[in-house]
Amino acid sequence: MTTANAESTSAPATYSSVAWIGLGAIGTPMARTAAEAGFPVTAFDLNPAAREAVADVATPAASAREAAQGADVVVVMVATPAQLDSVLTGEGGIASVLTDATTLLIMSTVGPAAIEQTLTTLEGITAHVVDAPVSGGAARAATGDLLVMVGGADADVAAVRPLLDALAANAPVVGAKPGDGQRFKIVNQLLCGVHIAAAGEALALADSMGLDLKQVHEVLGTGAAASFMFGDRGQRMVDGAFDDVRSALTIFVKDMGLVAEAAAEVGQEVPLAASAQQIYQRGSELGWDRRDDSIVYEVLRGRTD
């Protein structure tokens, strides 16, 4: 965690409770980071093993509603818009225990439409919603080094600022209303999704031409063609580490769908994103949703097992 983060978490005692709902690959290290920074975290996930994994630093809850009851801040870190809706209004949903004193901090990537639906759902319950999707992956989540793109009213953002600063190296306010953070994240995911697909395509071509993939990755990674995704995902492609899952393919199946929806809504052509989306979808159709997203390399090489 950076020095700035450590200084900004000097006020965790201002929260009587932080509810954390969603303990996936990134949600778990984020919840641990928050708890280790001194925030009183009560955590829930549908997976009992995930709840147990944070029991040494946080209080496990038997349900999302139990976690949210009486919490000052409720963090939601689930995977999809449907899961967000279920957390709020499904069986055992938390909407019934939220109050006008609760701040809902949505850190999932769910798209602006889901945030708009959330605001409608919570009308008359709480207007304090902060939209703050994250970028950076599990390793950076574990060290409080994420990028968080924050959308929300000034007072609501200020209420969660100590927590945001514990979780992120950079948490800029990118808009004054919930949904603005999602719009920024969609642009982020367009870039990431296209870069991963481009890395896979480049290395697939190199392999087809009989080049040494390790050398291609090493040499091109020092020049103008270098990018974070070529360095990171490209290394996994070279290593064939598709079952060492650091970011599952299903995330980009979902996120490139959100990119397509957002682009259609504003009438913006996104041909590179559309092409990348097809590659992720092909991987999904092969049954590779739970494998690492670097498996797009195998898709592009025409492999099916």
Angle formed by the axes of helices 180-208 and 228-239, nearest 10°: 50
For 47-72, the pLDDT digits (tens) are: 999 999 999 999 999 999 999 999 99
- Are residues 40 and 16 in contact, defined by beta-carbon separation less than 8 angstroms? yes
Q: pLDDT at residue 3 above 90?
A: no
Candidate list 177, 185, 214, 254, residue with the active-site label: 185
Percent of the chain with pLDDT over 90: 92
**pLDDT at site 117:** 97
**pLDDT at site 47:** 96
The tokens describing 14, both together, are: 């201002």
* Active site (annotated) includes residue 185: yes
Nearest to 130, CA basis, from 141, 118, 139, 140:
118
For 169-192, the pLDDT digits (tens) are: 999 999 999 999 999 999 999 999
Please report the domains of the chain, with CATH numbers, ordered by start residue: 3-177 (3.40.50.720), 183-300 (1.10.1040.10)
Task: Outline where the chain has alpha helix (H).
Answer: 3-8, 27-36, 48-53, 64-68, 81-89, 112-121, 137-142, 154-167, 180-208, 213-220, 228-239, 249-266, 271-285, 296-300
For 221-274, the pLDDT digits (tens) are: 999 999 999 999 999 999 999 999 989 999 999 999 999 999 999 999 999 999
